[in-house]
Amino acid sequence: KKTQIYLKLTVFKTFFDRTSHIQIAAFSYEKLYKIEAQSTLLSENQLFTQNTIFEGPS
């Protein structure tokens, strides 16, 4: 379950990185996948933190 969440988070990051809206991606992810995130015991704050860590070109 955690792997699925991570992959979805990466997709949001990739899409929004092109328009420099990383934080918006994080909040959108939080709302769309809140229930799945809870099932992996990840808090909303952790999801936001994970998303911002991946800012910038890889």
Can you tell me whether residue 43 is helix, strand or coil? Answer: coil
User: Rounded CA gap, 35 and 19, in Å?
Assistant: 27
> pLDDT of 20-50, one tens digit each?
444 555 555 555 555 444 444 445 555 555 5
pLDDT of residue 39: 46
End-to-end Cα separation, the chain, in angstroms: 25
- At which residue do the structure tokens 């998303």 appear? 51
The larger pLDDT score, comparing residue 14 to residue 57, is at 14
Residue 42 exposure: Cα atoms within 13 Å on the Cβ side: 23
* Domain definitions of the chain by residue range: 2-53
Report the predicted TM-score, pTM, of the whole model to 2 decimal places: 0.17
